Amino acid sequence: MFLQNIEQYEIILASKSPRRQQLLSDLGLKFTVQSMDIAEVFPAGLGMTEVPVYLAELKAEAFRPQLKQNQLVITADTIVWLDGKVLNKPVDYADGFRMLKDLSGKKHQVVTGVCLLTTAKKVSFFASTDVWFKLLSDEEIHFYLENYRPYDKAGAYGIQEWIGYVGINHIEGSFFNVMGLPVQSLYERLKAF
């Protein structure tokens, strides 16, 4: 195994996201999943890369009181950034429609903040990917929302789903970051941990 330096740790992935769980599993790591319901609220004035790192650290710090010496918590938060604003998870169908309409025909950034926390160490980082959507028709947006119900996804879409197949015509950066976990960056941080 390439990550022998972290075999001493019991790894906890603090995420309900099935995509993050799959990506971490595909990296060859053994881990348990635990999550806490943390309000994803951040101070006004934070920049594009600061928001997801702040939220990832907030999620990690919630584990600190019960963290054991041999445990390593991995947290992540992904945001969609469009025209200087964060697009969170949509609250309902209308919100999802509005978000996808806003993203249609434009470039946006997907930024994931990650925090690695043990009792002795904390490492935080982010990865950013530029994503370009083609102009989406109202029918395409309705079809996607009705059939995929992306209410657990920032920006109301999953790149690995139908909308990604037909609507995203270009990305620069990590595909897996857009899915919610910048696996290659995480691997490098874990190697150096």
Residues annotated catalytic, as ranges: 77
Rg of the chain on CA atoms, in Å: 17
Judge residue 83's burial from the number of C-beta atoms within 10 Å of its C-beta, 0-12 exposed, 13-18 middle, 19 or more buried: exposed
Separation of alpha carbons 145 and 94, rounded Å: 10
Separation of alpha carbons 12 and 21, rounded Å: 11
Judge residue 47's burial from the number of C-beta atoms within 10 Å of its C-beta, 0-12 exposed, 13-18 middle, 19 or more buried: exposed
Separation of alpha carbons 181 and 150, rounded Å: 17
Sign of CA dihedral 90, 79, 62, 69: positive
